Amino acid sequence: MVKGFSDNEVKNNTQNTQIKEKKKGLAGFLKGKKFTYTLPGKKQINIFGSIVIGLNMILVLLVILYLKNQEFHDFVFNVGR
């Protein structure tokens, strides 16, 4: 006899009583779907890079305008209330 095993076979006749719940929302939509990640192409990298650099330049311009122009500073201060 191998250690950890008995000669008597144990039969498990009990059924699984847990009710399987249907997945709702996003989990239900993604159930069974397989997603693969592909690296972006050169064109897509250039587009996203241009958008990021453009938004950063606009942010820097607005900060400089906020610090130098009192009317713009008052406008931002009043809109932020």
> What pLDDT, in 10s, does the model give residues 40-73?
899 999 999 999 999 999 999 999 999 999 999 9
pTM, two decimal places: 0.52
Which DSSP string do the residues of 10-74 spell out, in sequence order?
Answer: P-------PPPPPP-HHHHHHTT---------HHHHHHHHHHHHHHHHHHHHHHHHHHH-HHHHH
Residue 9 DSSP one-character state:
P
Residue 3 DSSP one-character state:
T
Return the pLDDT at 28: 72
Q: Which residue has the higher pLDDT, 21 or 78?
A: 78
Return the pLDDT at 37: 76
> What pLDDT, in 10s, does the model give residues 14-35?
555 555 666 677 777 777 777 7
80 three-class SS: coil
Distance CA 36, CA 45 (A): 18
